[in-house]
């Protein structure tokens, strides 16, 4: 079975014919629309990640590992602490992920020249073909999912998501990461 057909079957199994979240009795009200939007954001993000997990099995990388690879490509020499913050995971969790990638020969940890206590993450040559394969697959998934959505619709969606993200950061005291990995 092809990767796409296998992924489609996995997503179909996840898709429930019932609504993505609890329904309200006033579907046209602003409160009901806000409620639906929050459920759709959470559910759609989860389904997108599951599709990526399914379609990226060929790479023998887990989602946390390919996210680390994406950030290490975007920011060569990224400090381990910054990487944990950007991935929103604990230090010990990141260490386990990095250990696995190091065993696979995908990354190296190096001491920072400025501060020996800081460990920087660098990709090895072995990582680049894997990253290229994953990037192509992710681009294909993104193209398939967004193919009939106009530029204006994407811009409007991004504007709304940016405002929501800013408010989440304001409410939680968190600092937005600023930039996100391009794809992989």
Q: 165-180 pLDDT, tens per residue?
A: 999 888 887 655 544 5
Instruction: Classify domain 61-184 by CATH number.
Output: 1.10.10.10
DSSP class per residue in 51-113: HHHHHTGGGT--HHHHHHHHHHHHSTTEEHHHHHHHHT--HHHHHHHHHHHHHTTSEEEEE-S
- At 130-153, the pLDDT tens digits run 999 999 999 999 999 999 999 999
pTM here?
Answer: 0.71
Mean pLDDT value of segment 32-44: 92
- Mean pLDDT computed over every residue of the chain: 84
CA 59 – CA 63 distance, rounded (Å):
10
Yes or no: say if 10 and 50 are a contact pair by the CB < 8 Å rule.
Answer: yes
* Extents of the domains making up the chain: 1-55, 61-184
Q: Which residue has the tokens 């989602």?
A: 63
Query: Quick check: helix, strand or coil at residue 37?
Result: helix
């Amino acid at each position: 079975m092809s990767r796409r057909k296998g992924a489609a079957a996995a997503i179909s199994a996840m898709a429930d014919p019932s609504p993505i979240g609890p329904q309200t009795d006033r579907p046209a009200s602003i409160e009901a629309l806000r409620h639906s939007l929050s459920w759709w954001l959470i559910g759609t993000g989860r389904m997108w990640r599951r599709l990526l997990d399914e379609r990226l099995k060929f790479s023998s990388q887990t989602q946390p590992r390919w996210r680390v690879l994406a950030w290490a490509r975007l920011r060569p020499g990224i400090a381990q602490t910054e990487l944990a913050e950007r991935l929103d995971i604990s230090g010990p969790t990141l260490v386990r992920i990095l250990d696995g990638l190091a065993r696979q020969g995908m990354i190296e940890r190096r001491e920072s020249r400025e501060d020996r206590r800081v460990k920087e993450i660098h990709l090895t040559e072995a990582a680049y073909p894997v990253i290229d394969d994953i990037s192509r697959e992710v681009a294909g998934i993104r193209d398939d999912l967004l193919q009939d959505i106009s530029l204006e619709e994407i811009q409007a969606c991004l504007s709304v998501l940016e405002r929501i993200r800013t408010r989440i950061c304001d409410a939680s005291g968190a600092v937005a990461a600023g930039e996100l990995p391009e794809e992989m």
